[in-house]
Amino acid sequence: MCGPSVYISGPIRVRPMNLNIPEPNSSLLAHNPKQTTIQHPPHLRCVLESKLHSPVRGRESMKFTDSPVIELAVNDAVLSLQQDNGSMHVGTTVWPCSLVLVKFAERWGPPSDNNPYARVLDFQGKRAVELGTGCGVAGMGLYLLGLTDLLLTDIAPVMPALKRNLKVNKPILRKSLKHSVLYWNNPQQIAALNPPFDFVIATDVVYIPESVPSLVSAMETLVSDDGVVLLGYQLRAPEAHELFWELCQQVFHVEKVPHEHLHPDYAYEETDVYLLKKKNKKQ
């Protein structure tokens, strides 16, 4: 029997059924990531199997594809995003929230009258870190939009996919973007990044309840008092969803971008952009 309560529509390609994902509460994780794998429960695998063979609403307009290569136009450039269809790690897939966030920022990037996001998307001279970057889509896209002091992070097994994408897109980016291994539950790794950052970027990273506390804690530690978490979000698992928003409400002012403010070609009905700003400022 498939469990009814996990929503996984929206990934761009079929995921393998045994997904190796980090166990955030394991103290081994920080030092020995190779030992940190958990299996998705059977009900999630069932949902994955059934959902991924059915049409996904909005896919056409968002140009979703099962192709190993996805193209994303950002201003005058076109990123080439390479998915690893044989991988056991979710980070080697391009997930839709990353595209939605980049195209939202592209839409509101240029200064204009009546631009409600002019201040929040002012990337000039700002410092940013991305959590769970996967193939690096959000980071590379926002880099092209002017967020140039940027560090992309993920778990060690995802680094080859990230590096491949950075290399393929180097002619467009004109440099190799900085990247680093970061497990959200590793305070030493977080401290080594020398926070705070003006922006923390995260897209489609809320799906494992056990990792939610360390994710929210990492966001809080990494973002500056006046900074912003740019979050591309889609509900994947209700338990993770509820815990994530409960913890976020404690720490952040949460602003949901109205759907009509998303890019019209990338306004997938189940995908949202949130702007999170710290509640408890130390200064």
Ligand X SMILES: C[S@@+](CC[C@H](N)C(=O)[O-])C[C@H]1O[C@@H](n2cnc3c(N)ncnc32)[C@H](O)[C@@H]1O
CB 238 within 8 A of CB 5: yes
Task: Check binding of 200 to ligand X (CB under 6 A).
Answer: no
Q: Mask 90-109, x = binds ligand X (CB under 6 A)?
A: xx--xx-xx-----------
Question: Which C-beta is closer to ligand X: that of 162 or that of 281?
Answer: 162
Contacting range for ligand X; rule: CB under 6 A; set: 60-68, 133-141, 191-199, 256-264: 133-141
**Residues touching ligand X, count (CB under 6 A):** 24
Dihedral Cα 115, 119, 124, 129, nearest 10 deg: -110
And the tokens for 111? 């200064």
Contacting range for ligand X; rule: CB under 6 A; set: 41-49, 115-123, 152-160, 256-264: 152-160
Strands (E), the chain: 69-74, 77-82, 127-131, 149-154, 178-181, 197-203, 223-234, 252-256, 271-278
DSSP alpha helices (H): ranges in the chain? 42-52, 96-108, 137-144, 159-168, 170-173, 187-192, 212-222, 238-251
Question: Which C-beta is closer to ligand X: that of 109 or that of 136?
Answer: 136
Q: Closest approach of Cβ 112 to ligand X, in Å?
A: 28
Scanning the structure block, which residue is given the tokens 């450039």? 77
Q: Closest approach of Cβ 136 to ligand X, in Å?
A: 8
Question: Which C-beta is closer to ligand X: that of 102 or that of 121?
Answer: 102
Residue 138 in 3-state DSSP? helix
- Give the residues lining the site for ligand X (CB under 6 A): 21-22, 24, 90-91, 94-95, 97-98, 132-135, 137, 154-155, 158, 182-184, 203-205, 211
